[in-house]
Chain A
Amino acid sequence: MDVVAVLREGLFGSLSSVFDIAKVVIPLMIAMQIAKDYRVLDYLSKFMKPFTNFLGMSKESGFPLMVGLVFGLAYGAGVIVQSAKDGNLTRRDMVLLSVFLASCHAVFEDVLIFVAIGANGWLILSARILAGILVTYAVSRRLDGKEPYEEFLPQADQ
């Protein structure tokens, strides 16, 4: 094994990957910061009502759902915890939001970093959103008529 050749391959290969990703991540972060500062999601979540309705959530779930979808699980969870403290979310909303966001979060970032290295982003994005909707819809139907949703509460793992 030629150690120098391997090191050179590692160095150039890894730096060019990071550079490819920087070309995607920097514009994305600028767009997300503008969206955050101009409260674009506050505005967009007003149009989420048919969607949250379909998934069996209250309309107050629209904003945390958008935040998680765009900015990621950590931000989404933060907003969910805060909305729950303010009394805007029911237990059912929290379970459904967790299920949706577990399957589908930070979609732009997660998809675009793979587009940067040669994946087909549309296929991944549509599969991810579709899966999120299907799974959440299925859980939502299962929860109909059950009250405290014990089934989805933590049991053995805590």
Chain B
Amino acid sequence: MLLQSIKQGFRNGIDTTIMLGKIIVPVYFVVTFLHHTPVIDFVAQSFEPLMSVFNLPGESAMILVMGNLLSLYSGVGAIQALSLNSFEITLLAMMLNFSHSLFIETAVATRLNVSGTKIMALRVGLMLASGLIFGTLAGGVLQRWM
């Protein structure tokens, strides 16, 4: 019984890794490619005023957009392809943990007969709130600590 569980778990782990790989690899390629073109500078400059509120670099806006429109795992691929420090990775990871895969997960939530708009607003709100608390307010302290 235990051996059976371990085998099944291992198989699930492999399946999940393949599923993640199918998302992370293409996103990583796209972001790496963009990283070597002027597009990334354009994105970085355009979002600098917004992202600097959270003590994050402008190009990290791309990570939040991808994570929310696609999935958490595309956010992982994008974080890896940009060179960020551990404070920035942790803050982006936290913001994405609150709000990701909005289309799919809101669809799941509406199966429970609750308002999808409200659930989505709650998640995006928590993402922004966590960014303000851990990035804007505590950012200085966390940056030194990490």
- Chain A residues in contact with chain B, CB under 8 A? 1, 6, 9-10, 13-15, 17-18, 21-22, 25-34, 36-38, 73-74, 77, 80-81, 94-95, 97-99, 101-103, 110-111, 113-114, 117-120, 123-124, 127-128, 131, 135, 152-158
Contact = CB atoms under 8 A, between A and B. Distances in A.
B8 to A, nearest CB: 5
Contact of A30 (B6, B109, B118, B146): B6
Nearest to A131: B126
Given A10-B29, A110-B72, 13 more contacts: A14-B25, A17-B28, A18-B21, A18-B25, A21-B24, A29-B10, A30-B6, A34-B5, A37-B8, A99-B114, A101-B109, A124-B90, A157-B116
Residue of A9, A95, A119, A123 with most chain B CB atoms under a 10 A cut-off: A119
Contacts of A94: 112-114
B51 interface: no
A17 B76 contact: yes
Contacts, number: 180
Interface of B: 1-2, 4-6, 8-10, 12-14, 16-17, 20-21, 24-25, 28-29, 32-33, 36-37, 72-73, 76-77, 79-81, 86, 89-90, 93-94, 96-98, 100, 105, 108-119, 122-123, 126, 129-130, 134, 146
13 contacts: A1-B36, A13-B32, A13-B81, A14-B32, A14-B77, A73-B109, A98-B114, A113-B72, A114-B93, A114-B96, A123-B134, A124-B97, A131-B98
B28 to A, nearest CB: 4
B137 to A, nearest CB: 13
Contacts of B93: 111, 114, 119, 124
B55 to A, nearest CB: 15
Contact of B115 (A21, A111, A117, A152): A152
A111 B126 CA distance: 16
B80 A17 contact: yes
A108 to B, nearest CB: 12
A9 B25 CA distance: 11
A85 to B, nearest CB: 12
Contact of B86 (A37, A119, A127, A152): A119
A127 B94 contact: yes
A33 B110 CA distance: 27
A102 B119 CA distance: 7
Contacts of A123: 90, 94, 134
